Amino acid sequence: MVALFIIISMNFFIPRAMPGDELTNLLGEDVTISDSTVIQLRQEMGLDRTWSEQYLDYWWNIFHLDLGYSFHLHSDVSRIIFSRMKWTLLLALPSIILGAMAGAILGALAGWDSKRASRKIETMLLLAVYCTPPYFLCLLALYLFSFKLDLFPLKGFYITGSISDIAHHIFLPVLVMTLFSLSRNYMIMRGSVIQEKSSLYAAFARAKGLYNEQILFRHIFKNAILPIITLLAMDFGFILSGALFIEIVFSMNGMGNLIYDSLLSRDYPVLQGSFLIIAIMAVSANLLADILYSRLDPRVRW
């Protein structure tokens, strides 16, 4: 609760500490208005009040589930966030889940047979993907499969809105995000298995007559997957902002683009609402990871 209180408080102060004036960004630098109009607009937006008064109003609105009103997008912040959130979840959730599952299994096999030539080649290829920035992977995929081969659309989530049309639009971004997530989980799981397979309990399992796959998936895998759970919790916590570069490259109007546009326009209510949802998801995901840790590893239950 203390961590959540600090995060929510920082969510109020950090956007206001950014340089620039929100009213100037709203009106434009070339607009000339009278001082009385500026005072009236600041009163309507609540910007004439002190930070302490705004801070108290901020907590009052949170307790009443009111995220405020966006003067740039001219709509309630909660309506804007939830309309964008569903598209980001549709884009990021399959990538995180598929990347975690495939990365954990392939990484475990690569760590167990780390000296095999095919595993070394596989590791080199995925290491190259892991070291490549996600936005560069997106640009390469967009140039090759959309611009050159014309297999996938260049931008957006949909045209007609049908299920097949949406699946056609998000397939390439989901593939890129899954590949990057897979490579990261693969490298961590591989290193964890290499470390765990030299433990005494693995040697004891081998002495009991268990085969390689039985030792790996019945004993080693459960202990080696603990770092993946931590990463998965972080991914779920920042799922709404983690797709920022993907959404920018593929011109998708999800939460990533919403946060980016709100930063440029100093739209405090949208920033506060977005960061609040991300903070709650991050704290909840880490709490769930701690619970899973205690279930998988009895040593940390106390």
Within 10 angstroms of residue 292's Cβ, the number of other Cβ atoms is 16
Structure tokens at 299: 């040593």
Domain ranges of the chain: 77-300
Q: What is the mean pLDDT of residues 54-75?
A: 82
pLDDT at 29 over 60: no
What value does the mean pLDDT take over residues 137-143? 88
Q: What letter represents residue 263's amino acid?
A: L
Q: Is residue 69 within 8 Å of 270, Cβ to Cβ?
A: no
pTM of the model: 0.77
Tell me what the pLDDT averaged over the chain comes to: 81
- Check whether 20 has a pLDDT greater than 80: no
> CA–CA separation, 296 vs 223, rounded Å?
7
Query: 226-237 and 268-296 helices cross at what angle (nearest 10)?
Result: 160
Rounded to an integer, what distance in angstroms lies between the CA atom of residue 245 and that of residue 84?
15
Q: What is the pLDDT of residues 195-208, one digit of tens each?
A: 888 777 777 777 77
pLDDT single digits (tens) 103-127: 999 999 888 888 888 888 999 999 9
Per-residue model confidence as pLDDT tens digits over 147-175: 888 888 888 887 887 888 888 888 998 99
pLDDT at 186: 93
pLDDT tens digit sequence for 241-299: 667 778 888 888 888 888 888 877 777 788 888 888 888 888 888 888 888 877 777 76
Maximum mean pLDDT: which of 3-7, 185-189, 234-238, 257-261? 185-189
How much is the pLDDT for 75? 85
**Which DSSP string corresponds to 81-140?**
HHHHHHHHHHHHHHHHHHHHHHHHHHHHHHHHTTTSHHHHHHHHHHHHHHHS-HHHHHHH
pLDDT, average across residues 75-89: 87
What is the CATH architecture assignment of 77-300? Orthogonal Bundle (1.10)
- Tell me the H-state helices in 197-225: 200-207, 212-215, 221-224
Asked if residue 213 has pLDDT above 90, the reply is: no
Q: For residue 33, what pLDDT band results from cuts at 50, 70 and 90?
A: low
C-alpha–C-alpha distance, residues 152 and 166, integer Å: 11
243 C-beta neighbours (distance < 10 Å), count: 26
Picking from 25-34, 57-66, 79-88, 226-235, which range would have the lowest pLDDT averaged per residue? 25-34
**CA–CA distance, 196 with 200 (Å, rounded to integer):** 9
Helix/strand/coil for 212: helix
- State what percent of residues in the chain have pLDDT above 90: 7
pLDDT of residue 35: 65
